[in-house]
Structure 1
Amino acid sequence: MKTVAIFSGGLDSTVLAHELLAAGDEVLLLSIDYGQRHRKELVFAENFAKKQGLVWKLADLKSIAGLLGGNSQTSSAVAVPHGHYAEENMKLTVVPNRNMIMLAVAGGWAVSEKADRLAYGAHAGDHTIYPDCRPEFVRAMAAALELCDWHKLAMFTPFVSRSKADIVRRGAELGVDFAATWSCYEGGEIHCGQCGTCYERREAFERAGVADPTHYAVRAKYAEPPNFS
Structure 2
Amino acid sequence: MTNKVVVIFSGGMDSFTVLNRALKDGKEVFALSFDYGQRHVKELECASKVCKSLAVSHKVIDISAINQLLAGSSLTDDIEIPEGNYEVDNMKSTVVPNRNMILISLAVAYAVSVKASQVYYGAHSGDHNIYPDCRPEFVEKMNDVCQIANYDAVEIFSPYLTVSKSAILTDGLSMGLDYSNTWTCYNGRDKACGKCGACQERLEAFRDNNAIDPISYE
TM-score class normalised by the smaller sequence: over 0.9
Is contact 1:66-1:74 (8 Å) kept? no
How far is 1:89 from its partner? 2.2
Q: CA deviation at 1:133?
A: 0.2
Describe the SS at the equivalent of 1:108: helix
The CA distance in 1 between the partners of 2:116 and 2:61, in whole Å, is: 18
Q: What's 2:32 paired with?
A: 30
The aligned residue for residue 150 of structure 2 is 149
Aligned 8 A contact 1:168 1:210 in 2: no
The equivalent of 1:177 in structure 2 is 178
Residue in structure 1 matched with residue 16 of structure 2 by the alignment: 14
Tell me, in whole angstroms, the C-alpha distance in 2 between the residues paired with 1:163 and 1:92.
Answer: 21
Tell me the distance in 1 between the aligned counterparts of 2:94 and 2:156: 25
The runs of at least 4 consecutive aligned structure 1 residues that moved more than 3 Å come to none
- Is 1:51 matched up with 2:53? yes
State the secondary structure of the residue aligned to 1:192: coil
Query: For residues 108-147 of structure 1, what are the structure 2 equivalents within 5 Å?
Result: 108-147=109-148
Inter-partner Cα distance in structure 1 for 2:53 and 2:44: 14
Q: Tell me whether 1:204 sits opposite 2:205 in the alignment.
A: yes
- Contact 2:88–2:129, Cα closer than 8 Å, also in 1: no
| Residue of structure 2 equivalent to 1:68 | 70
Q: Which runs of 5+ in 1 are unaligned?
A: 218-229
Q: Which amino acid aligns with 2:150?
A: D
SS in 1 for 2:203: helix
Q: State the TM-score, normalized to the length of structure 2.
A: 0.97
Identity %: 46
SS at the partner of 1:147?
coil
- CA offsets per residue over residues 81-118 of structure 1, 9 Å max, x none? 11111150210000000000000011100011110111
Change in Cα spacing, 1:146 to 1:87, as seen in structure 2 (3 Å) is closer
Distance 1:14 1:41 in 2: 11
Give the Cα separation in 2 of the matches to 1:99 and 1:208: 28
CA distance in 1, matches of 2:209, 2:142: 30
In the alignment, the residues of structure 2 paired with residue 12 and residue 201 of structure 1 have an alpha-carbon distance, to the nearest angstrom, of: 10
Task: Report the residue type matching 1:69 in the other structure.
Answer: A
Checking the alignment, whether the CA contact within 8 Å between 2:9 and 2:33 is kept in structure 1 is yes
Q: Secondary structure at the match of 2:71?
A: coil
RMSD over aligned Cα atoms: 0.8
Counterpart of 2:31, as a letter, is L
Structure 2 unaligned spans of 5+ = none
What residue in structure 1 maps to residue 4 of structure 2? 2
- In 1, Cα distance between the equivalents of 2:55 and 2:44? 16
Q: SS of the residue aligned with 2:147?
A: helix
TM-score (norm 1): 0.93
**Letter of the aligned partner of 2:76 in structure 1?**
T
Q: Are the aligned partners of 1:2 and 1:27 in contact in 2 as well (CA < 8 Å)? A: yes
Equivalent residues of 1:117, 1:155 under 8 A apart: yes
